[in-house]
Structure 1
Amino acid sequence: MSQIDSLHRQHLLSRRDVLSRAGAGFGAIALAGMFAEEQNLLGAPESPLFLPHKAGTARNVIFLFMDGGPSHLDTFDPKPLVNEYAGKPLPPSIKRVITPMGVTENGLLASKRTWKNCGQSGLPVSDWYPRVGEWMDDICVIRSCTSDALNHVGGVTQMNTGSILGGRPSLGAWVHYGLGSENRNLPGYVVLLDGDREPPGGNRVWGAGFMSAGHQGTKFLPGDHPILHLSSPAEISDHRQRRKLDYINQINRDHLARRPGDSELEARIASYELAFQMQAHAPEAVNLAEESQATHEVYGLNQKRTQAFGKNCLLARRLIERGVRFVQVYSGSGSRWDAHAKIEQNHTELCGATDQPIAALLQDLKQRGLLEETLVVWGGEFGRTPMSEKGDGRDHNPYGFTMWLAGGGVKGGQIIGATDDFGMHAVSRPVHVHSLHATILAALGLDHTEVIYRLQGRPERPTVNEGEVIDEVFG
């Protein structure tokens, strides 16, 4: 039995199953046509469009990215000894580390947070995230995450691509490469920023790296018009636009035939086609005016502090509802969570901007029956140290920090792993970024060791040949 035959036997019952099994084989004809059309739209003839390797627990991912590194010590991983040692250096029993600021011997900064044990599970959450705290029975908190990066560029790049060095495909690109898109009229991978600045590393953190450019994320713009130039001029009919596009595509394909393997040209051809489809379908997808006033209020769209992130959370729900596979929602675009100083002011603002929208997203997904098939991920590129760099801030900490997962088959109300008594190092069940990525892929039914892209004959995998699935996440 070939590998693809084996994969066909193991995948989830989906629209492809229905087509392939329907009509005594006639569905297979439609399936073949759909594959061909999907590859054409993706501009990715090299994509195997894997069927899931096994029955996944999720169909979509919403990754809530706190750009700059939120403090786990002040949100989801309380450390009372930090307050007891406030103003003093770390005790000798705690291993010294390299930080970009060289502040390991500075006095510890006390946390001003109050904590509440939330839900039936009793998981502790600080007063910076009270509304998210109401959902802890649906959330799995991983307290022992680790990264290889000391600075933001490397950290954001690794959390997105698996490597601190630029040039590799992003996780969303790997998902798109492995599973394709469920909507031929919208991008399969969308990035939503809450400001004009991009994260450190720029658009390469949602890029396709050495893959076809057709797998890269599509950045929507912040504000009321996330996609520019959707509408054709009034004097241009759909028929005329279609003929124009067909002519341009024919010229491009003739050019491509003489230059096989030009992924940039393939992506351009695909982008023309996708843009034409989006003119008809995207305006409805991004039209938040279709939502009720009550929905606007629960997401915080009527409040200045929560408006930008709330819009993007609501938009993320609308996109995955329409088959977009992977949506990344940035908070604090441009490393605004980077609180080396004035952490009280910084995190009070940013937690306040995200708490209500995140809780609204979880509530909305659950009420619509979407949470069970949508994996929600929260976190940043690293955590923060217990030391004070500038008297009232915290430094970068890739040695032990918190991420959390919800929905998509995740067993909520549990904590996995632990950091030491000062939140400095992961000391129990360390979870490297590669393992986090492997777990996200596993939720989608993809084996991170079997999703392979051959680069000049060398097999490349999304987790850089490392990592393991954290099975406890799924209970």
Structure 2
Amino acid sequence: MSIDTNSAARPMTRRDLLGTAGCGFGSLALAGLMADQHLLADQVSSASGPASPLSPRQPHFSSRAKRVIFLFMYGGPSHVDLFDYKPALAKYAGKNVSDVVDNKGARSTGGLFPSPYKFARHGQSGHWVSDRYPHLSRMIDRTAMLRGVYGHSISHAPALFELNTGMIRTGFPSVGSWVTYGLGSDNRDLPGFVVLYDYRGGPIGGAPNWGSGFLPGAFQGTPVRSKGTPILNLNRPTSLGSPQQREMLDYAGKLNRQHKAGYPADNALEARIQSFELAYRMQSAAPEALDISKEKESTRKIYGIESGNPGEYFGSQCLMARRLVERGVRFVQLYSGGGHGDNNWDAHGNIVGNHNKHCAATDQPIAGLLEDLEQRGLLDETLVIWGGEFGRTPQKQGGNGRDHHPFGFT
């Protein structure tokens, strides 16, 4: 019987069947499972596998930052109501924006709309911050503001893709994937890139926002739910003991690496091997890392994790993020806001109602995260990013709201 050795993905043959049957029916069942996924090797090899793609690596240039926490305010937070003090909006209130500046194709046609919030300078830096972020204003000297961020789309999905990947279309690696591709991770038992999305829903566009694009699948983000079971389908079946599972993974690894040796271009195979191994190790490491119940009450209060506090939920996310980077995870992305309408920062009709809600939910948690990282000596080595897919227009829309504005935001 001839075997097509030029195919990188073929079904299990009778020769494979007979060859693996001698290893016991447990191995035979596993071999069939792997064949269904087109990952079966021709025979068992004792060769050890390659190093994990997430093994830590040194950067080409020395850098103070060793890890990243990206706080993503999904929906488009209004820079002119939070960090960009624009007193001229009061001077020109109600005027048509085209009479003052080039509108750059934005959809809003309402008059210029001064911020309903009060601004004040804070810290030695003198940064302007609105009264919606009183806790964060205390930490303002720990921040740097990029006020000229420019995007190429006024729609949520492509704007999200652009901020996350640099491109307005899908198929490209996210920033978290690039970071883990370049630097690896410092904890072999946890993913190098973790995404904590909002319980109200993920951001529009979904997984491509944390995908690996044309990089190997090992570098894509691992989504973690912030309520309920953090990672679905992670726990081992009750009928399977840990030693049995370990033996199955070892045997699968031998089969697959033998196959990999014959088909070096099959990158999906190595990614699958690594994902099986990582999932096995995560069964004990992930629940511990994401369990904030053992944190001191004083620490929880810093983040606003108290019953009735509007920051209780996002504070829990921020505390999880600190625990993850503390344990060697390279890149953690948190999403504030999910779904549609006022469940995220997309304040088309009522900037006050929307931003009062979301600022109250994020202010103390973000300030608490910075304070906690600083107290633990981690802030100097952790890049914490706050941002959204775009800002909001200086003119009014839909009553007292603002439209999308990617053409210069903070």
- Post-superposition offset of 1:236: 3.2
- Percentage of pairs with the same residue: 48
The CA RMSD measured in Å over matched residues stands at 2.0
**Whole-angstrom distance in 2 between the partners of 1:235 and 1:212:** 33
CA contact (8 A) 2:70 2:333 kept: yes
- For 1:140 and 1:107, the matched residues in 2 are separated by 31
Q: Is the 8 A contact 2:49 2:253 kept in 1?
A: no
Taking the aligned partners of 2:264 and 2:349, their CA distance within structure 1 comes to 52
Match of 2:3 in 1: none
Matched residue SS, 2:61: coil
Compare 326-335 and 252-261 and name the one that shifted more: 252-261
Deviation at 1:196, TM superposition (A): 4.2
Measured in 2, the distance between the counterparts of 1:192 and 1:366 equals 22
The one-letter code matched in structure 2 to 1:53 is: H
Aligned length: 359
Write the letter of the residue equivalent to 1:281.
A
Change over 3 Å in CA distance of 1:266–1:115 after alignment to 2: same
Amino acid of the residue matched to residue 312 of structure 1?
Answer: Q
Q: Does 1:204 align with 2:218?
A: no
Answering whether residue 314 of structure 2 is matched by residue 309 of structure 1, we say yes
1:236 is matched with which residue? 240
Pair 1:334-2:327 in alignment: no
8 Å contact 1:67–1:334 — kept in the other structure? Answer: no
Distance 1:206 1:297 in 2: 30
Shift of residue 258, structure 1, vs aligned partner = 4.9
Partner residue of 2:391?
383
Q: In 2 relative to 1, CA 303–86 (structure 1 residues): closer, same or farther, beyond 3 Å?
A: farther
2:43: which partner in 1?
none
The answer (yes or no) to whether the contact 1:230–1:283 under 8 Å persists in 2 is: no
Quick check: 2:52–2:274 contact (8 Å CA) kept in 1? no
**Residue 115 (1) aligns with residue 119 (2):** yes
Listed as ranges, the gaps of 5+ residues in structure 1 are: 1-33, 43-48, 403-475
Counterpart amino acid of residue 114 in structure 1: K
Q: CA deviation at 1:286?
A: 1.0
Counterparts of 1:74-473 in structure 2, within 5 Å, are 74-90=81-97, 92-99=99-106, 102-103=107-108, 105-304=109-308, 305-334=310-339, 336-402=344-410
> How far does residue 124 in structure 1 lie from its aligned partner after superposition?
1.2
CA contact (8 A) 1:191 1:329 kept: yes
CA distance in 2, matches of 1:196, 1:242: 36
CA distance in 1, matches of 2:218, 2:403: 37
Task: Answer yes or no: is 1:61 the counterpart of 2:65.
Answer: no
Which entry has the higher C-alpha Rg, 1 or 2?
2
Q: Distance between the aligned counterparts of 1:77 and 1:399, measured in 2?
A: 14
Query: What's the secondary structure of 1:391's corresponding residue?
Result: coil
Tell me the CA shift for residue 91 of structure 1: 5.6
Partners of 1:262 and 1:197 in 2: CA distance: 34
For the Cα contact (< 8 Å) 1:312–1:329, is it kept in 2?
yes
Deviations, residues 50-100 of structure 1 (Å, cap 9, x unaligned)? 63111101000000000011000000001112123222212634112112x
Q: Distance in 1 between matches of 2:279 and 2:104?
A: 49
Q: Are the equivalent residues in 2 in contact too, given 1:194–1:308 (CA < 8 A)?
A: no
Distance 1:392 1:112 in 2: 10
TM-score, normalization by structure 1: 0.72
Change (3 A) 1:35 1:138: farther
